[in-house]
Amino acid sequence: MRKPVIAGNWKLFKSIGEAVALVNELKPLVSGAQGVEIVVAPVFTSLSRVSDAAKDSRIKIAAQDCYWEEEGAFTGEVSPKLLKDAGCSYVIIGHSERRQFFGETDATVNKKINAVIAAGLTAIVCVGESLAERESAQTFSVIETQIQGGLTGLAKEALSHIIIAYEPVWAIGTGKTASEGQAQEVHSFIRQLIARIFDQSVAGAVRILYGGSVKPDNVKGLMSQPDIDGALVGGASLKAESFSAIVCFNN
Ligand code: PEP
């Protein structure tokens, strides 16, 4: 049984006060959500305060990125150890915006995953193809390269600390959602790939989230697909009303 995860990526939005207010607003709205893990990912500066505010709830905290070294002369970076200290249980790694704007590669994704797991946290590892790649029938090869590169060298035990998020780049922040069939096809491909790299039991247990314009009105259809185990939500996670409706998809 794979417990669904609904994670909200707040990106570069919300002051500390706004982030704390949002989590406080969310708490009563999601307290009755059935059989789902709830995660929010505020900006670094809000992590500690949002984590304190969420302590008496089921809402867990994610960071949106990290560095792979624990400490040292790495100006501007934050390590998984310090994210844990700030109250995080998860770290999003390899989001397409980081790949696109900040030079994230499969090699750096791999280093970050290792560091996150070593710190006792769970990595939410993002993969996804661009529109040009989909239109030139490269979706599966792009996903395979990202997964092989990101997970290279990991022991199969490490996979229990990894959640994969399939986020087609053309569906992020665009209002265009992959159809249930398009998403399921790639999720199933990822699961088979994990079985090939590790084994069937690892593949059967790993959770694969869909991300890309998930909204209250499309979450149920996506979640009805056999290989979709949750959602990574951007825009719709910034308002308590829409995010809680997504979290409560099962109610
Ligand atoms: C995201 O940021 O990971 C995302 C999926 O954004 P949106 O839901 O806005 O498409």
pLDDT tens digit string along 138-159?
Answer: 999 999 999 999 999 999 999 9
Over residues 199-209, the pLDDT tens digits come to 999 999 999 99
Is 95 known to be catalytic? yes
Ligand 1 geometric centre to CA of 204 (Å): 25
pLDDT of residue 16: 98
* Pick from 172, 177, 234, 166: nearest CA to 206: 166
CA 26 → CA 54, 245, 247, distances in Å? Answer: 9, 10, 10
Tell which atom from ligand 1 comes closest to the C-alpha of 92: 3
d(CA 228, CA 232): 11
Predicted TM-score (pTM) of the model is: 0.98
d(CA 184, CA 110): 25
pLDDT of residue 176: 87
Those residues whose C-beta lies under 8 Å from the C-beta of residue 139, and which sit 6 or more positions away, are: 129, 133, 168, 186
Is 161 known to be catalytic? no
pLDDT of residue 1: 84
pLDDT of residue 202: 98
Over residues 21-45, the pLDDT tens digits come to 999 999 999 999 989 999 999 999 9
pLDDT of residue 226: 98
Ligand 1 in contact with 173 (CB < 6 A)?
A: yes
Q: Which segments of the chain have a pLDDT < 50? A: none
pLDDT of residue 129: 97
Ligand 1 in contact with 177 (CB < 6 A)?
A: no
Tell which atom from ligand 1 comes closest to the C-alpha of 9: 2
Dihedrals φ, ψ of 8, to 5°?
Answer: -105, 125
